[in-house]
Amino acid sequence: MRASAPAPKVLVIDDSATVCLFMASALEKAGYQVIIATDGRDGLMKALQERPDCLVLDVVLPGVSGFDVCRQLRARDPLRRLPIIMVSVKDTPLDQNW
């Protein structure tokens, strides 16, 4: 009997509990293992510890911004090529230039 491959890990970094619950529910239904972080610092730590297969990253986070998280991950060899999906609920023209 062959052991099944472990589910791919997705790290969701977002400070909104509602967004985290929604994304976790959708991703888990699709067969992914979901790890949640609610700020940039926790997200960086979990990315280094858990080595996810993909990252869903909010742009605006308390403490360390999503852009800074992305820059720091791109500077680290083991995570340099990690696929990162940047998301935001901001939709005004001013927010888009942020």
Hey, which CATH number is domain 9-88, 1.10.510.10, 3.40.50.2300, 3.40.640.10, 3.30.70.1350?
A: 3.40.50.2300
| The pLDDT value given to residue 78 | 85
* Domain layout of the chain by residue ranges: 9-88
Q: Could you give the CA distance from residue 76 to residue 35 in angstroms, rounded to a whole number?
A: 20
Question: Can you name the residues that pair with 36 across neighbouring β-strands?
Answer: 12
User: Using CA atoms, how far apart are residues 95 and 90, in angstroms rounded to an integer?
Assistant: 6
Distances (CA, A) of 66 to 35, 51, 58, 76: 16, 18, 6, 16
- Global pTM reads 0.87
Per residue in 27-58, pLDDT tens? 999 999 999 999 999 999 999 999 999 999 99
pLDDT higher than threshold 70 for residue 74: yes
Structure token pair of residue 72 = 């720091």
